[in-house]
Amino acid sequence: MAAAEMTQTQPALAPVAPKDRIFNLDMLRGWAILGILAVNAMAFAWPISAEMGGAKPFAMEGANLVGHWVTDVFFADKFRTLFTMLFGVSVFLVGGERSDAARGKLLRRRLLWLGVFGLIHGLAFWYGDILLHYAYCGFLVMLVRSWPAKRLLWVGGLITAMWAIIAVAVPVLGPMVMASMGPEFQAQFKANQPKVSTDEIMATVELFRSGYVPAMMENAKGWAMVQFFSLFLIPISVPLMMLGLGLFKSGYLFGRSPAWIYVLVAAFGAANLALFGYYAWTELNGGALPLEGLDSALGGAAPLITLGYVSALILLTRFGLKMITSVLVPVGRMAFTNYLTQTLIMTSLFYMPWGPLWFGTMGPGALWGVVGAIWIVQLIWSPLWLSVFQMGPLEWVWRCLTYGRMVPIRKTAAVRADPVSV
C-alpha cells in the first residue's frame, strides 16, 4: 500500500506499525538531527553574543578556520531546512486530513505539548531551542495539511524560492548599493553596526561558568532574543513545512520520481556546494573574489543544497546501497530523544555545574571532536535502545501526554509504534 494512502485509510488515532514505518523519512530525519548538532555546537559552547559580530574570542586560523569552513559550507542552514521540511510531513502523518476530527484533536494536543517541551528546553537548559517555534508553526501548517501535493509544492516552493533569491541577491547587491552611497555614509553605517568586544564575551562566559542560576539568567536573555527573532522566521519555516509535505504527498521523498530528476537535483546541489565551498575558503583566507559577497550569495541557496542531499541519499537507498543509509534510520526514529539528548550532553559538558565547564574554551576546530563523539554515541545507542523498546524514551513521554494515558513502550508489550518522531 502506498505510504500516503496508508496514512489516510488507517483508523482514527491508530499509529503505524514498525514494519510500516517509512524508511526514507526516518533516514532523512536521522541525517537532519545529526547535522543540526554540527551547527548548534557553537551556540552550546559560547554565549549568543559571540555570534553577533565584532571580535572573535578565538583565533580564526588552523583547525578553527577549517572547522568554521566545514560547518558554514556543509551544514549551516541545510539541516535546519531539512528538519523543518520533515516536520511538515509529521503534521500530516499525525493529524491526517482536516476532515478527521479525532486525529486533528490528537495533533493539536501533540503540538501543545511540543510547545511545553520547548519552553522547558529553552528556559531550563539552552537558549537555542527551536521546538517552541515548530509548535506554533505547526498550528499554521495544520490548516493546509489537506492541500494536494501540487498546491503545496507551488505555494511552499515559490515562497521558499523567493526567500532564496533574496538571500542570494542581498550579499551581491548590498555592497553595490553601499558603494553608491559615498564614503561618509559607509563610515557612519559601519560605525552604527552592533559590535561585541572579546572582553564582553568573556565576561558572559564567566557568568555561565559561575553556577546554574547566573547561567540560566544569561540563558534566559539569549532565549528571549532567539524567540523574538524566531517570529520573523515564520514566513520562512511555514513554506518549508508546506514544501516538505508537498514532496511527501507527491512521492518524491519515497523515491518514486524518475531517477533522472534525483540525479539532476543532486548535481545542481553539488555544483552549488562546490562553488560555495571554494569561494568561502578563498574569502576566509583573504583571497579576492570575482564579485564581492559571492560566497554569501552561493550560501543563500541552502534549500537547493538541502534538496541535493535528500536526492543523493534517496538515490543511494534506491540503487542497492540501503545498508549505508539504514544506519541513520534508528537515529531518525528517536529524533526527539536524540535532539534533547544532544542538549543534555552539550550543556553538561559546557556550562552545567556538574560538568567540566568547557564553556568559552573551544573554537570551531576542537568542537568537531565533541560533535563526532556524540554522533558515534547516538549512532550506537539508538539501534540498541530500539532493539528492546518500540520508541525513544522522550517519544514515549510525549506520546503518553498526547494520548492522556500510559502507552506501552517495550516491544514485548506494545503492538504498534508512533509514526513520527518530531
Q: pLDDT of 351-379, one tens digit each?
A: 999 999 999 999 999 999 999 999 999 99
Whether the pLDDT of residue 307 is over 60: the answer is: yes
**167 in Cβ contact with 301 (< 8 Å):** yes
Query: Which range (52-61, 165-174, 221-230, 357-366) has the least confidence?
Result: 52-61
CA distance 129 to 351: 16
Taking the mean position of all CA atoms in its chain, how far away is CA 90? 14
CA distance 336 to 28: 14
Confidence (pLDDT) at 13: 37
Confidence (pLDDT) at 180: 73
Q: Determine, yes or no, domain membership for 419.
A: no
- Average of per-residue pLDDT across 160-164: 95
Q: Tens of pLDDT along 33-66?
A: 999 999 999 999 999 888 776 667 888 889 999 9
Q: Determine, yes or no, domain membership for 22.
A: yes
Confidence (pLDDT) at 417: 42
Q: Determine, yes or no, domain membership for 10.
A: yes
Categorize the per-residue pLDDT at 185 as very low, low, confident or very high, splitting at 50, 70 and 90: low
Categorize the per-residue pLDDT at 21 as very low, low, confident or very high, splitting at 50, 70 and 90: low
Q: Determine, yes or no, domain membership for 411.
A: no
* Domain span including residue 338: 3-403
Q: Determine, yes or no, domain membership for 413.
A: no
pTM: predicted TM-score of the whole model, two decimal places: 0.89
Q: Which of 284, 422, 409 is nearest to 18 (CA)?
A: 409
**164 in Cβ contact with 304 (< 8 Å):** yes
**137 in Cβ contact with 232 (< 8 Å):** no
At 372, the amino acid letter reads G
**91 in Cβ contact with 245 (< 8 Å):** yes
Exposure b/e, 350-381, CB count within 10 A at least 16 = b: bbbeeeebbbbebbbbbbbebbeebbeebbeb
Number of domains in the chain: 1
Taking the mean position of all CA atoms in its chain, how far away is CA 357? 26
Look at 74 and 414; give whichever has higher pLDDT: 74
Q: Determine, yes or no, domain membership for 414.
A: no
- Average of per-residue pLDDT across 341-352: 97
Q: Determine, yes or no, domain membership for 118.
A: yes
Interacting residues of 42 by C-beta distance below 8 A, sequence separation 6+: 50, 51, 71, 364, 367
**19 in Cβ contact with 418 (< 8 Å):** no
Q: Determine, yes or no, domain membership for 44.
A: yes
Collapsed DSSP state (helix, strand, coil) of residue 54: strand
